[in-house]
Amino acid sequence: MFRGASSGAIHNPLRARCAERVRKMRAMQLAEPGKPLRLADREIGKPGPGQLLLRVLACGVCRTDLHIVDGELPHPDRTVIPGHEIVGEVIERGARAEWFGIGERVGVPWLGSTCGDCRYCRTGRENLCDGARFTGHHIDGGYAEFALADARYCFALPQGYAPEEAAPLLCAGLIGYRALSIAGDAQTLGIYGFGAAAHIVAQVARFQGRKLFAFTRPGDAEAQRFALALGAAWAGGSDAAPPEPLDAAILFAPVVVSVANLTRRDGEEFLALAPRVPVRTSVEIFPLERANEALARVREGRINGAAVLVMPERTARSG
Ligand SMILES: [Zn+2]
Ligand SMILES: [Zn+2]
């Protein structure tokens, strides 16, 4: 295996891999729903027209990934690589994908592509497109060293975020932002379920001058402390009554299959707002190979903030 090889002449493992006829990468893939992900050697794709080849720097672990791994979402008829909060560096571009520069950092969200042609796509409601294809579900995602992405659905990322800090913005952040928009101008806001999305939405809500009440699993003192640290006026169990009437409540319930389809416009708005707040994400980092452990921790609700996979090569290659 190349990984273990050493050569005085070659300092860049990626370049060395490019020289190989079939370029390989490591990925955590789903072979069978309900079973743990398996580490596999997969071929690195060539970017087609409109596509970017990204070196994955970090990929968030989202609750939707659990639904995919568990087979609760209609499963594509092939092995898929999950992961739809990808922060990657552009290393190759197909034709008509040149507006992102080589070396630029981009974000890849859940909405991987749409038909571009139907009445929804043509009226700014692409999230409703019947032909929508999702990253880490229909399209191989970011639990891998490399990923292909449709450049039209990639986001430029705000400055000042490390890859692992930016990753949770791409789904948890977007979902929270969308939910907050739906809550209108509610001044007293309840947030039920204090996970990855809530910890971001709390910061945006405070920035907007709202008063925040956080409801966690009963007895989860750590999550309540976390919510208070992020500016909640009160935190308690979901079985408790709020200390004052709520104008609106946002429910981030773990039992709900939360396949939120968001438009590119939602993403652009939120990613422009995030550095102004500024949103700071709390992340717990796992190397790629420990994706199953990260998923288990998300399942049990034992992550304060968001779980993020990072690619070990990132550190191995530096210097
Ligand atoms: Zn469409
Ligand atoms: Zn997600």
Residue 132: alpha-carbon gap to chain centroid: 18
pLDDT at 4 over 90: no
Q: Cα–Cα distance between 173 and 82 in angstroms, integer?
A: 18
Place of tokens 């994706």: 291
Longest dimension (CA), the chain: 68
Nearest to 46 by CA among 84, 11, 107, 92: 92
Contact in structure between 250 and 172 (CB atoms under 8 Å): no
Contact in structure between 312 and 288 (CB atoms under 8 Å): yes
Residue 264 CA, ligand 1 centroid: distance in Å: 13
Q: Cα–Cα distance between 202 and 158 in angstroms, integer?
A: 19
CA separation, residue 269 to residues 1, 13, 251, 257, 301 (Å): 44, 37, 22, 25, 28
Contact in structure between 37 and 69 (CB atoms under 8 Å): yes
Q: In the structure, what pLDDT confidence band is assigned to residue 316 with cuts at 50, 70 and 90?
A: very low
Of 37-41, 76-80, 104-108, the poorest mean pLDDT is in 76-80
Residue 223 CA, ligand 1 centroid: distance in Å: 40
- The reply to whether 174-251 shares the fold of 13-169+282-318 is no
Q: Average pLDDT in the 211-240 region? A: 95
Residue 132 CA, ligand 1 centroid: distance in Å: 7
Tell me the torsion sign for CA atoms 302, 259, 40, 54.
negative
CA gyration radius, the chain: 20
Residue 263 CA, ligand 1 centroid: distance in Å: 12
Neighbours of 16 (CB within 10 A): 15
Tell me the torsion sign for CA atoms 267, 269, 275, 279.
negative
Shortest-distance ligand to the CA of residue 63: 2
Q: In the structure, what pLDDT confidence band is assigned to residue 201 with cuts at 50, 70 and 90?
A: very high
Mean pLDDT of the chain: 89
pLDDT at 56 over 70: yes
Shortest-distance ligand to the CA of residue 260: 2
Residue 152 CA, ligand 1 centroid: distance in Å: 14
Residue 125 CA, ligand 1 centroid: distance in Å: 9
- Domains of the chain by residue range: 13-169+282-318, 174-251
Residue 15 CA, ligand 2 centroid: distance in Å: 32
Residue 174 CA, ligand 1 centroid: distance in Å: 21
Amino acid at 230: L
Q: Cα–Cα distance between 193 and 73 in angstroms, integer?
A: 22
pLDDT of residue 187: 96
85 secondary structure, DSSP code:
-
CATH superfamily of 13-169+282-318: Medium-chain alcohol dehydrogenases, catalytic domain (3.90.180.10)
Residue 262 CA, ligand 1 centroid: distance in Å: 13
Shortest-distance ligand to the CA of residue 116: 1
pLDDT of residue 199: 95
Helices 172-182 and 196-207: crossing angle, nearest 10°?
Answer: 50
Residue 16 CA, ligand 2 centroid: distance in Å: 34
CATH superfamily of 174-251: NAD(P)-binding Rossmann-like Domain (3.40.50.720)
Shortest-distance ligand to the CA of residue 169: 2
Of all residues in the chain, the percent with pLDDT exceeding 70 is: 87
Q: What is this structure's pTM?
A: 0.89
Residue 242: alpha-carbon gap to chain centroid: 31
Residue 291 CA, ligand 1 centroid: distance in Å: 33
Q: Average pLDDT in the 175-191 region? A: 92
Q: Cα–Cα distance between 146 and 140 in angstroms, integer?
A: 10
* Cα–Cα–Cα angle for 268, 115, 157, rounded to 5 degrees: 20
Place of tokens 């903030």: 305
Shortest-distance ligand to the CA of residue 66: 2
Q: In the structure, what pLDDT confidence band is assigned to residue 318 with cuts at 50, 70 and 90?
A: very low
Of 81-90, 260-269, 274-283, the poorest mean pLDDT is in 260-269
Amino acid at 206: R
pLDDT at 260 over 90: no
Q: Average pLDDT in the 260-277 region? A: 90
Q: Which segments of the chain does DSSP mark as H helices, in order?
A: 13-19, 63-69, 163-166, 172-182, 196-207, 221-229, 264-273, 291-299, 313-317
Q: Cα–Cα distance between 92 and 74 in angstroms, integer?
A: 32
Residue 22 CA, ligand 2 centroid: distance in Å: 31
Residue 111 CA, ligand 2 centroid: distance in Å: 10
